[in-house]
Amino acid sequence: MIPKSALSKLTHIVGEKNILIKTEDLLPYSHDGTQHQFMPDVVAFPKDAGEISRILQLANRERFPVVPRGAGSGMSGGALAVQGGLVVVMDRFNRILLIDEDNLIAKVEPGVITGHLQEEVEKRGLFYPPDPASLDVSTIGGNVAECAGGLRAVKYGVTRDYVLALKVVLPTGEILTTGVQTAKG
């Protein structure tokens, strides 16, 4: 359960329009591609890493669970609020920031739909191999979290084989950047 004082702080962080607390609004975020259902206490839609950092600092201080969620299409239960708490939805992180044709890299936000990235790189004569069955709805962030593959995985590998760098927010709220900005040559 999230304390009322924490709920008002969450609302201040993401704004009233980017938080859900009514049962009927929470219901779509209580399940994923599995048949399991766990109702979150709150759902929030942050707009940037700074807001996620503040959310995680608050959760760490107030001791409530936080579950990140992409499209909720996964089959492992990774996007489920098994202990209640807060589900952080990455819908607003949906931009392709860069497609570098020379270095063969793309820089994307976690809410980018996998199929959309594939379409954009194909327009440039490039190829992004991971093709999960849910590619028309699954997000890159969810693919990274679940190490998604698809039929092409046998020949080309899975999502982790295409991750060069990550920007992550740790449970303490610290923002960490890992990796490099160039592909192997």
Give me the domains of the chain, ranges plus CATH numbers.
Answer: 4-89 (3.30.43.10), 96-179 (3.30.465.10)
The answer to whether the CB of 172 falls within 8 A of the CB of 60 is: yes
The answer to whether the CB of 47 falls within 8 A of the CB of 18 is: yes
Nearest one of 86, 82, 70 to 148, comparing CA atoms: 70
pLDDT of residue 179: 93
- Separation CA 11–CA 116 (nearest Å): 31
pLDDT of residue 92: 96
pLDDT of residue 35: 87
Sign of CA dihedral 36, 42, 48, 49: negative
- Averaged pLDDT in 10-residue chunks for the chain of 185 residues: 93 98 98 94 98 98 97 93 97 96 95 97 96 94 94 95 96 95 68
- Separation CA 77–CA 58 (nearest Å): 24
